[in-house]
Amino acid sequence: MPSSVISTAVVDVAAPTIDYEAKFKSAQQLKAGASLIIPVKVGGIPAPKVEWTLKDQPLAPSPTVVMETTEGESTLTLKSLTGQSTGKVKVTATNAVGKATAEFDIVVKGNRYGLGDAA
């Protein structure tokens, strides 16, 4: 009697997810010159590509912008904030299955020298 073998491959896939601390659900109010660190947990299979934007403009590494992404998490650090830093920061995680986003409102008051309101 002939026998047949049926093989099936199970490929795990999952759309991206982004989780973060509850304190980031409200606007982050900071003084000019301060730094802000936004850590997020990122999930998905395959591992998603993570991108950060400020005011819908892609952020690039610089002396005042640090982005660190490892498997399972991504952290944005903004240093020496100014009134120009006021706006919406968005993190987007994308993989072959889908996309997830999270937004954070940033409000910077004053200027680096403590004179007036630059925002």
- CATH number where 65 lies: 2.60.40.10
* Any domain includes 45: yes
**In the prediction, which pLDDT does 112 show?**
57
Which residues, at least 6 apart from 27, have a Cβ–Cβ distance to it below 8 Å?
105, 106, 107
* Any domain includes 3: no
Give me the domain span that covers residue 89. Answer: 14-109
Total tally of structural domains belonging to the chain: 1
* Any domain includes 27: yes
**In the prediction, which pLDDT does 115 show?**
45
3 state SS of 74: strand
**In the prediction, which pLDDT does 60 show?**
95
The runs of H, that is alpha helices, within the chain are none
Q: pLDDT truncated to tens, each residue of the chain (119 aa)?
A: 566 777 666 678 999 999 999 999 999 999 999 999 999 999 999 999 999 999 999 999 999 999 999 999 999 999 999 999 999 999 999 999 999 999 999 999 986 554 444 43
